Amino acid sequence: QVQLVESGGGLVQPGGSLRLSCAASGIIFNVATMGWYRQAPGSERELVATITSGDMTNYADSVKGRFTISRDIARNTVFLQMNRLTPEDTAVYYCNAFGMSISGQRNTYWGQGTQVTVSS
């Protein structure tokens, strides 16, 4: 069973920083594409950033230059460093994985989400 467990969300003032973590289990992590998505109230879920098994990264235009996605293969963890946060970044952030589970199923998997609120 694949599990993605996010942590690191919370309340932060505009201009502040947060670092999200997503610990993965049950998936062959070193060959999975990992990502972060977010969903604000009344909006659809949108891509924030992805990182491939070859460490190629992709970012939404709205976060380029402010957010950085990275992964620690030894810890099966993907991170999202978020700097210069604005109220528009307020959303539930979801960890995403596309890859092969250890039981042999190739699929897309989601975490339960972590709330990020940017407010003064």
Give the tokens for residue 91.
């959303």
Coil, helix or strand for 120?
coil
What residues pair up with 94 in beta bridges, in sequence order? 37
- Measured CA to CA, the distance from residue 42 to residue 35 in angstroms comes to 22
CA angle 57, 6, 97 (to 5 degrees): 45
In 3D space, the residue among 68, 78, 104 whose CA is nearest the CA of residue 21 turns out to be 78
Average pLDDT taken over every residue of the chain: 96
Give the tokens for residue 35.
């990502």
Question: What would the mean pLDDT of 98-108 be, rounded to a whole number?
Answer: 92
Amino acid at 7: S
Q: Is the pLDDT of residue 30 over 90?
A: no
Q: In this prediction, what percent of the chain has a pLDDT beyond 70?
A: 100
Distances (CA, A) of 120 to 4, 44, 85: 30, 25, 11
Q: Is the pLDDT of residue 44 over 90?
A: yes
* pLDDT at 16 (0 to 100): 98
Question: What would the mean pLDDT of 57-72 be, rounded to a whole number?
Answer: 98
Q: Is the pLDDT of residue 2 over 90?
A: yes
